[in-house]
């Protein structure tokens, strides 16, 4: 492969963008804007930026959050299957390969994340999702019947506790990124399985956080103690201190600040990566100003270099996620 740093982006809403009318097989510059969201991610951009591995999501918003959202668990299940078929088609076309395929200049390797367990109608659906390639599950986006979520605080529900145990039986990874704080702590007490935060930032740097979207230092320390990895989100409102959001654009230095904060709490650089979410209901004007598409993520090493060694930069950009999933992804196909 070409010289440069390999990158592992642990959160991209690729299938969601296809359902919204974009052809993610094309470069971002050839994709339509959606409202004020200028496209930032296409499969060619990922390859140009040496993004060798991604966690592409399955995401189904409820009707209460989207005019085209699902109304019933059966509808959510059907939409999840549609999105899974997109990734399957890309694999058949040689555009993406399923983990653990080796990295290549010709395709990106994907490891599928279910963002919000809404499509899991009952625990009996879990084997279906495992067989289809899902390896990571977050119980909530906003609140679901399983857990409290962003903007809607609450605990794990009885159904959520039952689902956690089933996910553990199938060796699936838990994603805490959208869990309400009470659900976060409930999950950590209930499961001994592997845990990540695919796209979360440091609450202490952002400040005001009534929706409980970000991780407190106590939560970060708890994830570190569980040998988790935390992916830093590139959404400007999740990077900037609350007092600066209306005054300036976010920059790569803000990404680096969140990375350094996790490393300071950990005492090393082994528990942080990136989960850019830079195509997840936001666009070019809502991410660090130096980045227009995934092709420009190779600007990150220079931003990190004043604070980290070359080996540490490799770990942050790729190695931490790669090592975590190598240890924890189930071998079943």
Provide the residue-wise pLDDT of the chain in tens; the chain has 333 residues.
345 899 999 999 999 999 999 999 999 999 999 988 999 999 999 999 999 999 999 998 877 777 677 889 999 999 999 999 999 999 999 999 999 998 888 899 999 999 999 999 999 999 999 999 999 999 999 999 999 999 999 999 999 999 999 999 999 999 999 999 999 999 999 999 999 999 999 999 999 899 999 999 999 999 999 999 999 999 999 999 988 998 999 999 999 999 999 999 999 999 999 999 999 999 999 999 999 999 999 999 999 999 999 999 999 999 999 999 999 995 533
pTM across the whole model? 0.96
| pLDDT of the residue at 333 | 34
| pLDDT of the residue at 2 | 43
The burial of 25, by beta-carbon neighbours within 10 Å (0-12 exposed, 13-18 middle, 19 or more buried), is given as middle
Non-local (6+) Cβ contacts of 243 within 8 A are: 207
| pLDDT of the residue at 332 | 37
User: Residue 174: what are its φ and ψ, rounded to 5°?
Assistant: -95, 130
Residue (of 61, 35, 81, 2) closest to 283 by Cα position = 35
All structural domains of the chain: 7-328 (3.20.20.140)
Rounded to whole angstroms, the Cα distance separating 124 from 225 reads 31
Around Cβ 268, how many Cβ atoms within 10 Å?
A: 12
How long, in residues, is the chain? 333
Q: State how beta strands 96-98 and 7-12 pair.
A: unpaired
User: Residue 186: what are its φ and ψ, rounded to 5°?
Assistant: -60, -45
Rounded to whole angstroms, the Cα distance separating 315 from 11 reads 17
DSSP string, 162-197: HHHHHHHHTTPEEE-TTB-HHHHHHHHHH--S-EEB
Contact 252, 303 (CB under 8 A): yes
């Amino acid at each position: 492969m070409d010289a440069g740093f390999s990158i592992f982006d642990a959160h991209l809403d690729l299938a969601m963008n296809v359902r919204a009318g974009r052809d993610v097989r094309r470069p971002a510059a050839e994709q339509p804007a959606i409202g004020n969201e200028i496209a930032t991610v296409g499969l060619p951009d990922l390859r140009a930026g040496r993004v060798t591995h991604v966690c592409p999501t399955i995401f189904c918003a409820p009707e209460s959050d989207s005019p085209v959202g699902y109304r019933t668990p059966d509808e959510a299940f059907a939409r999840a299957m549609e999105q899974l078929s997109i990734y399957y088609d890309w694999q058949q076309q040689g555009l993406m390969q399923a983990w653990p395929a080796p990295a290549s200049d010709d395709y990106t390797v994907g490891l599928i994340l279910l963002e919000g367990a809404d499509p899991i109608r009952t625990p009996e659906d879990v084997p279906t999702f495992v067989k289809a390639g899902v390896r990571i599950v977050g119980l909530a986006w906003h609140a679901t019947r399983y857990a409290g979520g962003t903007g809607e605080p609450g605990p794990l529900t009885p159904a959520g506790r039952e689902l956690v145990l089933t996910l553990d039986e199938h060796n699936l990874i838990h994603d805490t990124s959208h869990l309400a704080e009470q659900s976060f702590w409930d999950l950590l007490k209930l499961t001994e399985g592997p845990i990540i935060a695919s796209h979360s930032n440091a609450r202490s740097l952002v400040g005001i956080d009534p929706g409980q979207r970000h991780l407190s230092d106590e939560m970060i320390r708890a994830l570190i103690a569980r040998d988790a990895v935390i992916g830093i989100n590139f959404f400007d409102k999740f990077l900037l201190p609350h007092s600066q959001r209306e005054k300036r654009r976010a920059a790569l230095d803000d990404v680096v600040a969140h990375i350094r904060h996790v490393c300071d709490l950990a005492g090393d650089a082994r528990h942080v990566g990136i989960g850019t979410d830079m195509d997840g209901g936001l666009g070019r004007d809502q991410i660090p100003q130096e980045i227009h598409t995934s092709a420009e993520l190779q600007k990150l090493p220079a931003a990190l270099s004043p604070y980290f060694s070359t080996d540490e930069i490799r770990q942050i950009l790729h190695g931490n996620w790669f090592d975590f999933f190598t240890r924890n992804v189930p071998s079943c196909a």
